[in-house]
Amino acid sequence: MVTWFSRKRTRVEAPKLRSRSEVLATTKVDLVEFTPELMEFLGRAAYVQLTLFENLGRALAMAPTTSAKAALSRAAELSMVKHRGLAGVIEKSGGSVADVMEPYATGIDGFQRVTLGSDWFETIVTCYLTAGFLDDFFVRLAAGLPPASATQVIGVLSQDSGEALLAEELRSAMEANPRLASRLAMWGRRLVGDTMLLARQSLTYSENHKSDEARIEPVFTELIAAHTRRMDSLGLTA
């Protein structure tokens, strides 16, 4: 319990620059007692962002129209800004970006493989839903970092990730082809399991699994509620 309280004290509020941060600042549950050491956190979060960026790159290369390409190139840029922001924090902390990410690469590559999607539409759903979920998750987990790092990391992760651009592409695709919706809804429901698993693997657990689960559960309930809102905003049933 001593450890619990001492970590609790290092909590910082998310900067109130963006709408997503405003939501988070009023959130009562976070993951401060599960935050790994700084370099582990940064290695995992930076590699996750690189993976999200790669997914957008793949979606960009497969885009069926020049207009979709233009939208995705903007989203890819925003995603790259996040990865580079975290890479910058690693470098300022004296680490090599590649070395710090290396231990977590294989696990996150596995997540990437199972969430790839079977076509362009599913890949876009993956980009939209997993980026939203994982950014939310890592912002909550970052709250347990040393305060200066927490502020930097939360600042990076709370930036716009082009969610609206992706949602717009998906909405117009489903308008043109209404049968797409049920397939994409199924894909969206499937994604949440794999994404939660990746998030859980990023937590540093205590010895007491039962109490850990009790603390983690309300956070994941909120993350899943946000996932459901993201699906709702596309008109998909979660």
58 binds its own copies (CB under 8 A): yes
> Quick count: other Cβ atoms within 10 Å of Cβ 45?
30
91 binds its own copies (CB under 8 A): no
Nearest to 38 by CA among 205, 170, 152, 118: 152
Asked whether the beta carbons of 40 and 149 are under 8 A apart, the reply is no
83 binds its own copies (CB under 8 A): yes
Among 2, 3, 66, 118, binds its own copies (CB under 8 A): 66
234 three-state secondary structure: coil
Closest approach of its own copies to the CB of residue 61, in Å: 5
Distance CA(27)–CA(20), nearest Å, equals 11
Nearest to 204 by CA among 28, 9, 44, 24: 44
87 binds its own copies (CB under 8 A): yes
Site string for its own copies, 143-182 (x = CB under 8 A): ----------------------------------------
105 binds its own copies (CB under 8 A): yes
> Whole-angstrom distance between the N-terminal and C-terminal Cα of the chain?
37
Asked whether the beta carbons of 21 and 159 are under 8 A apart, the reply is no
Q: Which is nearer to its own copies, 11 or 69 (CB)?
A: 69
Q: Which stretch binds its own copies (CB under 8 A): 14-22, 51-59, 140-148, 155-163?
A: 51-59
Q: Which stretch binds its own copies (CB under 8 A): 79-87, 143-151, 184-192, 214-222?
A: 79-87
Nearest to 40 by CA among 90, 80, 5: 90
97 binds its own copies (CB under 8 A): yes
Burial class (CB in 10 A: 0-12, 13-18, 19+), 175: exposed
41 binds its own copies (CB under 8 A): no
> Quick count: other Cβ atoms within 10 Å of Cβ 135?
24
189 binds its own copies (CB under 8 A): no
Q: Which is nearer to its own copies, 85 or 132 (CB)?
A: 85
Q: Which is nearer to its own copies, 173 or 231 (CB)?
A: 173
Rounded to 5°, the CA angle 125-161-105 comes to: 75
69 binds its own copies (CB under 8 A): yes
Instruction: State the residues that interact with its own copies by CB under 8 A.
Output: 47, 50, 53-54, 56-58, 60-61, 65-67, 69-71, 73-74, 76-77, 80, 83-84, 87, 97-99, 101-102, 105
